[in-house]
Structure 1
Amino acid sequence: MTADKTGFEVPDQMRDFAEKSVDQARKAFDDLMGATHKAVSNVEESAHAVQAGAADANKKALSYAEEHVNSAFKFAQDLARAGSVEDMMKLQQDYLRSQMEALGEQAREFSNSATKTVSEATKAASQKD
């Protein structure tokens, strides 16, 4: 066990339990993501009418969701291994900062993708006239 400056100790059994719980949740999530990827692939194969821009947005959204869940699992594992409250607070601060940066970048990518899709749709419509 390790203690912080306040004398609070995170028992080894608690950390072990937390780590096992995170590992079990991680496995369940990985199984779900495998099934989801398969379902998305099946839908894409059977629905030829899906626009390229919409398919790209769906893939990006799924990828972003997976990235965020992976980050959350890593954060949970790091918290389970933390030896002090100060370590936990630092981990939380770093996690929140990285999540906000990732969300900002993802929003920019979605915006750029949407702009491109609208532009291509407008161009295709004007060529038909």
Structure 2
Amino acid sequence: MTADKTGFEVPEQMRDFAEKSVDQARKAFDDFMGATHKAVSNVEESANVVQAEAADVNKKALGYAEEHVDAAFKFAQELVKASNVEDMMKLQQDYLRTQMESLGEQAREFSNSATKAVSEATKAAQKD
């Protein structure tokens, strides 16, 4: 007995099914990659927004520090000119009151900046 050595032929229906499966897998992969690129882009945009807002906060902090050092030097200059303890105590009281008011305002500004940063980052992340 001799075996037929012509080879195995894949039926047309099997080839059509395999081709459709590969096409569907390719489409699913392309859709996945598109969604991935979009997500990465949104994250990058959010990071850029947060970075810009952080730079703004850093500039404010540096400005506030400069204001406080300047106020401390002015206070020191006035203090050395005081002629008695009562004047020194009044200067100290005024300096502390002014600094507390300034710190309160700066805390509000920091809070507003942080709220804005979160809001902007959220908007950037939700962009389509």
Task: Give the TM bin, normalised by the shorter chain.
Answer: 0.5 to 0.7
2:115 matches 1:115: yes
Unmatched runs of 5 consecutive residues or more in structure 2: 1-47
> Aligned equivalents of 2:101 and 2:69: distance in 1?
15
Which protein has greater RCO, CA pairs closer than 8 Å, 6+ apart? 2
Task: Give the drift of 1:50.
Answer: 7.7
Deviations 1:86-128 (A, max 9, x none): 0000000000000000000000000000000100000000014
Q: 1:80 aligned to 2:80?
A: yes
In 2, Cα distance between equivalents of 1:83 and 1:59? 39
1:48-88 superposed Cα distances (whole Å, 9 cap, x missing partner): 99821011001000000000000000000000000111000
| Counterpart-to-counterpart distance in 2, 1:113 and 1:50 | 11
> Could you say what the CA RMSD is over the residues aligned between the two structures, in angstroms?
1.7
TM-score by length of 2: 0.60
Structure number with bigger Rg: 2
Q: TM-score, normalised by structure 1?
A: 0.60
Native 8 Å contact 2:50 2:121 kept in 1: no
Aligned residues: 81
Amino acid at match of 1:116: K
Structure 1, unpaired ranges of 5+: 1-47
* Identical residues among aligned pairs (%): 78
Structure 1 runs of 4+ with >4 Å offset: none
**Residue pairs, 1:23-102, within 5 angstroms:** 51-102=51-102
